[in-house]
């Protein structure tokens, strides 16, 4: 808000009345105006002279109104807005090249700009802007092989934004492994999405601990078990070695026994003792360890401990260890009231212990709702206790009971529970554990509870009859989960889900990327009233470059974005889409390999576009190497 107030104050000082701040909508965007003002990808015919009163009169409409953006006073984030203003003066407004501005007529025909430059203010004045932009795009699209070679021979030239290149070059799909390995000494952000074995090998073997740890410290690590093991061995910090071991186990890596031996030696023994894959032969040593934290951890493996070790832990001198042992002991042996009364914090007992009939009967009717709430999910609760809680006056307690695995479906249907169909839901662990049991999946797919059916739909594979049933489920989240997770999801359902869902953070390629998603017959959607369906037309093998060209001019931005990523896009259309009103369309066009080299080279030298432009796969590898060298020099100077 303060940023906007500062802009409005500046405009008032320039003699302009602010009418409103507005999104570009279908208008020419401010970002493209800034590029033209800096002389990047600019059409011919620009006037390079002082902006006299005549040009301002051509800019303003009958009411003296036009659009303006001021350098350093951006509104609207990545897709910045125009500010609509009114000018009632006779001469030129008090706008200057310091800090710089770009102005657009309301009809999009006239562009005026003045920005600072190395040789003084740079002035631009253009009329017939849409026509000139079309002419410039067509001219750029006629670029010859010789012209392309000349352009790339001159890059990087005088690099303006090498730090932006460093941030983006690792995401260029044509960058060879050896270039990305060199990039490890310059910039690490690309490792968050890197799945190249040679690059990851180099990263986990790198002498810099920041580089070694980056591949593991990502949302979805791509490391193999061997790479995890090498990363752990190379880590000098005992605590971080255990941390990486925890991450490795969480991502399903198989760690060798001798690695556990090493992790258990030293100051992080207590943390290492908690690793889920710890071999059982270590347990006697843990149960007798001098550190009570280690002995407490041993209690979590109660079923793997010999009776003498259990007895020893139950009589431990440390209260915390003794309590942990007691709780573990009573997962099998019913806990009497007198033992429960001695617990310093009874919640864990309520959630996990087997209780004596007398104690349970009292607790399921306890006045404290939190006590009953903790009991509701206790897997060792008796059938009688479950029946009592199924009638609890609190809705969330009954809802927890309704999700218990020990209910049959008739019992579950009898429990009054409340489910918000729009709320986020997670896969129930006990249902996930049955994903490989076809009979269980058939039974649970008939459940009256949508969260159970959603959990069934998360299975990688399901029997055909279960898939058929879930594909018609009345809960559309069941159908969504089936589309995201089940490789057996049917094509017609995937297409139905696509009408209202185009991917999540965890499943960005589903349903469209599903192996069963239809690929043929999609051209029939080229004229569909819904833009989401028109996007599919170009996935059809029968689609043509003419279809790409038509959809590149679609009224909906998402359709134009799909055209902008198509490798059949014409060079002229790729250049034209750089001026699209939607930021994501412009960025997609910057990455299209059909973009003319002269245009792309200009984008490489623009602050706003350098990071995206350097990811374009059409940049020759020798040019990428030169760009990396410039970026490395800039990063080293900054350090």
Confidence of residue 158 (pLDDT cuts 50, 70, 90): confident
- pLDDT, tens digit (0-9, with 9 covering 90-100), for 77-119: 666 899 999 998 888 898 887 889 999 999 999 999 999 877 7
- Is the pLDDT reported for residue 496 higher than 70? yes
Q: Considering just the CA atoms, what is the radius of gyration of the chain in Å?
A: 33
Q: What pLDDT does 328 receive?
A: 97
- DSSP, collapsed to helix, strand or coil, labels residue 123 as strand
- Is the pLDDT reported for residue 148 higher than 80? yes
Q: Report the pLDDT averaged over residues 394-411.
A: 95
| pLDDT-above-90 percentage for the chain | 83
pLDDT greater at residue 73 or residue 537:
537
Going 488 to 489 to 490 to 495, the CA torsion angle's sign is: negative
- Is the pLDDT reported for residue 2 higher than 70? no
- Is the pLDDT reported for residue 231 higher than 60? yes
Q: How far apart are CA 162 and CA 615, in angstroms?
A: 13
| pLDDT-above-70 percentage for the chain | 98
The 8 Å CB, 24+ separation contacts for 548-557 are 548/573, 549/573, 550/526, 551/526, 552/576, 552/577, 555/531, 556/531, 557/581, 557/582, 557/584, 557/585
Q: What pLDDT does 316 receive?
A: 97
Q: How far apart are CA 489 and CA 466, in angstroms?
A: 10
Q: What pLDDT does 120 receive?
A: 82
Q: Report the pLDDT averaged over residues 284-298.
A: 96
DSSP for 173-211, please give it.
TT--HHHHHHHTTT--GGGGG---HHHHHHHHT-SSHHH
- Is the pLDDT reported for residue 638 higher than 60? yes
- pLDDT, tens digit (0-9, with 9 covering 90-100), for 558-605: 999 999 999 999 999 999 999 999 999 999 999 999 999 999 999 999
pTM: 0.89
Q: Cα 379 from chain centroid?
A: 35
Cβ neighbors of 557 (< 8 A, separation 6 or more) are 580, 581, 582, 584, 585
- pLDDT, tens digit (0-9, with 9 covering 90-100), for 293-305: 999 999 999 999 9
Q: Report the pLDDT averaged over residues 327-350.
A: 96
- pLDDT, tens digit (0-9, with 9 covering 90-100), for 10-58: 999 999 999 999 988 788 999 999 999 988 877 877 666 678 888 999 9
Going 213 to 215 to 220 to 226, the CA torsion angle's sign is: negative
- Is the pLDDT reported for residue 442 higher than 90? yes
Which H or E run contains 441?
A: helix 438-444
Q: What pLDDT does 288 receive?
A: 95
Q: What pLDDT does 159 receive?
A: 67
Q: Report the pLDDT averaged over residues 271-284.
A: 94
DSSP assigned state of 266: S
């Amino acid at each position: 808000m303060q940023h906007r107030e500062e802009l409005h104050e500046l405009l008032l000082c320039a003699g302009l009345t602010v009418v409103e701040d507005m999104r570009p909508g279908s208008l020419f965007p401010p970002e493209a105006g800034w590029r033209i003002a800096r002389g990047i990808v600019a059409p011919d015919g620009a006037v390079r002279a002082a902006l006299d009163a005549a040009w301002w009169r051509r800019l303003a409409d009958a009411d003296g109104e036009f659009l303006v953006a001021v350098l350093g006073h951006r509104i609207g984030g990545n897709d910045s807005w125009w500010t609509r203003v009114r000018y009632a003066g006779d001469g030129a407004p008090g706008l200057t090249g310091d800090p710089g501005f770009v102005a657009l007529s309301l009809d999009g025909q006239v562009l005026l700009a003045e920005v600072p430059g190395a040789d003084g203010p740079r002035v631009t004045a253009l009329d017939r802007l849409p026509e000139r932009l079309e002419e410039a795009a067509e001219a750029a699209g006629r670029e010859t092989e010789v012209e392309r070679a000349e352009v790339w021979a001159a890059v990087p030239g005088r690099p303006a934004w090498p730090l932006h290149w460093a941030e983006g070059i690792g995401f260029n799909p044509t960058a060879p492994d050896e270039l990305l390995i060199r990039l490890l000494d310059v910039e690490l952000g690309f490792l968050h999405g890197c799945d190249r074995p040679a690059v990851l090998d180099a990263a986990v073997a790198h002498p810099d601990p920041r580089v070694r740890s980056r591949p593991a410290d990502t949302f979805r690590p791509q490391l193999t078990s061997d790479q995890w093991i090498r990363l752990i061995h190379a880590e000098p910090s005992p605590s971080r070695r255990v941390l990486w071991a925890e991450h490795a186990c969480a991502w399903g890596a198989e760690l060798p026994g001798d690695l556990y031996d090493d992790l258990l030696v030293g100051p992080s023994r207590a943390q290492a003792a908690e690793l889920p894959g710890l071999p059982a032969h270590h347990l006697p040593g843990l149960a007798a360890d001098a550190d009570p934290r280690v002995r407490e951890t041993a209690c979590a493996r109660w079923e793997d401990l010999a009776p003498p070790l259990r007895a020893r832990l139950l009589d431990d001198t440390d209260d915390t260890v003794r309590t942990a042992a007691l709780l573990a002991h009573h997962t099998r042996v019913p806990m009497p009231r007198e033992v429960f009364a001695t617990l310093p914090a009874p919640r864990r007992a309520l959630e996990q212990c087997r209780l004596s009939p007398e104690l349970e009967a009292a607790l399921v009717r306890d006045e404290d709702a939190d006590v009953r709430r903790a009991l509701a999910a206790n897997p060792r609760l008796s059938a009688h206790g479950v029946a009592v809680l199924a009638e609890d006056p609190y809705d969330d307690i009954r809802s927890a009971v309704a999700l218990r695995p020990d209910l049959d479906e008739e019992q579950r249907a009898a429990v009054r529970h409340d489910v918000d169909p729009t709320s986020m839901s997670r896969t129930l662990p006990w249902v996930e554990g049955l994903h490989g049991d076809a009979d269980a999946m058939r039974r649970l797919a008939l459940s009256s509870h949508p969260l159970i059916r959603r959990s069934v739909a998360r299975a990688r594979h399901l029997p055909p009859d279960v898939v058929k049933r879930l594909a018609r489920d009345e809960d559309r989240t069941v159908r969504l989960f089936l589309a995201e997770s089940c490789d057996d999801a049917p094509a017609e359902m995937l297409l139905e889900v696509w009408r209202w869902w185009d991917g999540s953070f965890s499943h960005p390629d589903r349903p469209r990327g599903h192996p069963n998603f239809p690929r043929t017959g999609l051209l029939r959607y080229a004229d569909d009233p819904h833009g989401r369906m028109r996007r599919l037309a170009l996935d059809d093998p029968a689609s043509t470059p003419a279809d790409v060209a038509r959809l590149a001019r679609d009224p909906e931005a998402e359709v134009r974005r799909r055209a902008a990523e198509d490798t059949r896009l014409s060079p002229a259309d790729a250049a034209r889409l750089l001026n699209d009103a939607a930021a994501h369309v412009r960025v997609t066009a910057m990455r299209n390999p059909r973009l003319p080299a002269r245009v792309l080279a200009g984008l490489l030298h623009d602050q706003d576009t350098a990071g995206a432009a350097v990811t374009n796969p059409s940049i020759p590898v020798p040019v990428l190497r030169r760009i990396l060298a410039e970026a490395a020099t800039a990063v080293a100077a900054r350090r």
